[in-house]
A and B are shown apart, each in its own frame.
Chain A
């Protein structure tokens, strides 16, 4: 026990450190470093929960005051697209949790695959979201102040300006990363090649999301077109929601505020996905370089917590926005 009170010499520390290249100088052991980082991440997640809680409170107040607006607006949210995106995020949560396991077990290939698949799921999610947003913009379903729904439904295609603008980053990204992958392979840079391939795959996943989203909306529009006339007429008769603010026939007063809340909640969530994709790319690079292992997997573990929290937010957004009836 005398060793406990013995002052530790510099060389002794240096010797332990040489086994753990990732141990920052102000930590005594990898365990201490990991615990401190994890607690820090949880505290960050607390601030995230509080940040989103403002949006949930806005939703709750508005829904309790104006339930008719929510009943009116839900018909503009595509339940099928919402479901597809929910499944994509659940799958990405699984691959992320699996990735954490791979990092802890020092399975380098598995880790790289899991991170790449998580990125691809995120890309797909944003692709579907792009179709949803562009469809609403074209129909004038904007935030309060710009809310001016057009009566006729338009067909979405890649030449729809709003969808084209939203898809451009992915198209440009695909070209850049595909060229990057080829160049990196030519130069024999394995890491750069791998990361570029993963990013190109993510861009493809985005475009697959756009394509799938378009197919779903077109199928819906076809069935809606046949019922539209009957539905609108009976809807107005049943609810008496006609011309309430003298501007938009059929739309209840304040309907635009629903879309303000919708864009704020899903937009902030999508920004979190985008930020997460940026961090994931960095982690993928480091994972390819073999930086993580059973004595250093903190960054993967912490990022996993963040990713799951973003998934948690969507788990609540999905029923609150898409499943109103």
Chain B
């Protein structure tokens, strides 16, 4: 009898700390089927939108439009398929830290390239003129 009481207490403790509906089961948000299907449809729509955008000549904006649509798709996947919207916000912080680092890599490298590449081009042009 003693044992049963003790384990009852322990179960109660676990339940309290987890806040779960049943003793011991991990408590998570279960994404509904309509939500899954809506996100799926939105992803399809955005895919066709980004393909359709290539038919329009947007010049130098082209890359930013396609990256913008891709980011929107990625956000939908992360928020709903990867549960970030319903999850602990710490997981979003961890993920965004990685994305921010990727942004840092890109910005620093491209600014470096931008600084020196005009010199490289000038040098290449001069070399070509000399060769002639």
| Contacts from A to B (Cβ < 8 Å) | 3-4, 6, 8-9, 11-13, 15-16, 19-20, 28-35, 38-39, 42-43, 45-46, 49-50, 53-54, 56-57, 60-61, 64-65, 79, 83, 86-87, 90-91, 93-94, 96-98, 100-101, 104-105, 294-295, 297-298, 301, 304-305, 308-309, 311-312, 315-316, 318-320, 323, 325
Count contacts on B: residues with CB < 8 A to the other chain. Answer: 62
Choose one: B31, B43, B105; the contact of A57 (CB below 8 Å). Answer: B105
Report B-chain residues with C-beta under 8 Å of the C-beta of A97: 31, 36, 80-81
| Contacts from B to A (Cβ < 8 Å) | 3, 6-7, 9-14, 17-18, 20, 22-28, 30-31, 33, 36-37, 39-40, 43-44, 47, 50-51, 53-54, 62, 66-67, 69-70, 73-74, 77-78, 80-82, 88, 90-91, 94-95, 97-99, 101-102, 105-106, 109-110, 113-114, 117
Report A-chain residues with C-beta under 8 Å of the C-beta of B26: 30-31, 33-35, 295, 297-298
- Are A46 and B97 interface neighbours, CB within 8 A? yes
A308 to B43, CA, bound (A): 13
- Are A60 and B106 interface neighbours, CB within 8 A? yes
Choose one: A4, A30, A54, A319; the contact of B50 (CB below 8 Å). Answer: A319
- Are B54 and A61 interface neighbours, CB within 8 A? no
- Are B33 and A98 interface neighbours, CB within 8 A? yes
- Output the nearest chain A residue to B73 by Cβ-Cβ distance: A315
- Are B47 and A38 interface neighbours, CB within 8 A? no
A28 to B31, CA, bound (A): 27
Pull 8 A–B residue pairs with CB atoms less than 8 Å apart, ordered by A.
A12-B9, A15-B7, A16-B10, A31-B18, A45-B95, A304-B81, A315-B70, A319-B50
- Are A30 and B40 interface neighbours, CB within 8 A? no
